[in-house]
Amino acid sequence: MSLEAYAIYKNYGEVEALHNVDLVTERGEFFTLLGPSGCGKTTLLRIIAGLELPDSGTVMLTGGNVTTLPANERNVNTVFQSYALFPHLTLFENVAFGMRSRRLTGSVVTEKVMAALAMVHMEDKKDRLPSQLSGGQKQRVALARALVNEPEVLLLDEPMSALDAKLRHAVQAELRQLQQKLGKTFILVTHDQEEALTVSDRIAVMRQGRVVQCAPARELYERPVNRYVADFLGKANIIAGRRAEGGVETELGLLRLDSPPTWEQGELAIRPENIVFHPERPAVNGLRARVSEAFYRGDRVEVWLEPGNLRMSAAPRRGIAKGDEIWIELLPSALVPLHE
């Protein structure tokens, strides 16, 4: 276990920023705090970094209590949202900053800085000033500046929010590869669900200062615990129903599912890609539906269905068009009972 936080509370006046948050990361794990702005994810990151004190709770780093240890004495480094490179220092000096703070000099510094710059492919620009770099390059330098200190945990505060979409995708892949290569614990804060799914081993979804669900990326997407998580990560059809013999009784009829609900009355969720087209009536969870709208999206067709106002994602080659009557199956393995 590299970083643990237990029972963290933090209030700003009347606003409850964090309410009884627990967080345990494994060594070498890529962990993501995901949520909308104002959910407390950045506050939690700042508490881990030592830039903010929790009202109560404990932060542990490799088994030692660091709750009240200031940022400059914690073996944790941060990549800031604005990158916060020192504008008057060259890239080399920016990356060397942490080691110079620790009064290291000579060839050790040079070697480590050059290795860190090489890691992010910026070694040939070591004498430039931050103002001469593009956003993506600044982000790489910020990464090198943090990693060169060999922190126990690397914290990333929305590091890709300033990049354009295409570059962001490339950087996500690079970041994931880098983390795998170094085997370090990364904690990322983001509001971008796609980014979270791409890079993370585990994700904690937050809302109003609380962790709603903390699970591996795939589990989070496929088995959301409630409507909030189901909606926040991708799209979901929500179907209300009542538990019955062999499944759940809904307005679409009796639906079978692999994991029966624990509630008497509640909601089921199913992802659009788990509603599948059938040429004839399927054996289970079959439904005759009318296409009310069909939007061509290039890689898929987004289909709106009646009854139930369902959203389905179909392959374009099916040629589904508005007004068609089709057979669909709601896959029993992908129907998830929601809680709350």
Partner 1 sequence: MSSQHHLVWNGELTTRLRLIRRGMYLAAPGMLWILLFLALPSVLLIVVSMTTRGDYGQIEWVFSLDNFTRLMGYSSYGWSADYLWILFRSVWVAFWTTLVCVLLAYPLCFHIANRAPEKRYFWLTLIIIPFWTNLVIRAYAWLLVLAPQLPLAKFAAVLGIIPDGSPLYPSAFAVYLGMVATFLPFVAMPLYANVEKLDWALVEAAKDLYAGPARIFWHAIWPQTVPGLSVGITLTFIPAMGMFVVPDLLGGAKYMLVGNLIQQQFGTSRDWPFGAAVSLALMVLTLVGLHIHRTKGGEGGVA
Binding site for partner 1 (CB under 8 A): 49-51, 70-73, 76-78, 80-82, 84-89, 97-98, 101-102, 145-146, 149
- CB 129, min distance to partner 1, A: 9
- CB 155, min distance to partner 1, A: 9
Q: Which residues contact 291 (CB under 8 A, 6 or more apart)?
A: 303, 304, 305, 320, 321, 322, 323, 324, 325, 326
User: Measured over all CA atoms, what is the biggest interatomic distance in the chain, rounded to whole angstroms?
Assistant: 75
Other beta carbons less than 10 A from residue 99's beta carbon: 17
Nearest to partner 1 of 153, 225 (CB atom) = 153
Nearest to partner 1 of 82, 105 (CB atom) = 82
Nearest to partner 1 of 76, 275 (CB atom) = 76
Nearest to partner 1 of 110, 292 (CB atom) = 110
- Is-contact 4 159, C-beta < 8 A? no
* Beta pairing class for 15-25 and 3-12: antiparallel
- CB 187, min distance to partner 1, A: 14
- CB 23, min distance to partner 1, A: 19
H or E segment to which residue 172 belongs: helix 165-182
Work out the burial of residue 69: count CB atoms within 10 Å of its CB; fewer than 13 is exposed, 13-18 middle, 19 or more buried. Answer: middle
Nearest to partner 1 of 129, 254 (CB atom) = 129
Nearest to partner 1 of 101, 180 (CB atom) = 101
In the numeric block, the tokens 């890689």 are attached to: 299
Cα-Cα-Cα-Cα dihedral sign, residues 189, 191, 195, 198: positive
- CB 81, min distance to partner 1, A: 8
- CB 93, min distance to partner 1, A: 9
- CB 163, min distance to partner 1, A: 17
Nearest to partner 1 of 39, 148 (CB atom) = 148
Closest C-alpha to 138, from 181, 81, 78, 212: 81
Nearest to partner 1 of 13, 298 (CB atom) = 13
- CB 42, min distance to partner 1, A: 12
Please calculate the CA angle 94-96-98 and round it to the nearest 5 degrees: 95
Residue 303 C-alpha from the chain's centroid: 27
- The secondary structure of residue 219, as a DSSP letter, is H
Other beta carbons less than 10 A from residue 101's beta carbon: 10
Other beta carbons less than 10 A from residue 120's beta carbon: 19
CA dist., res. 308 & res. 310, Å (int): 5
- CB 34, min distance to partner 1, A: 22
Please calculate the CA angle 189-300-269 and round it to the nearest 5 degrees: 60
Nearest to partner 1 of 9, 97 (CB atom) = 97
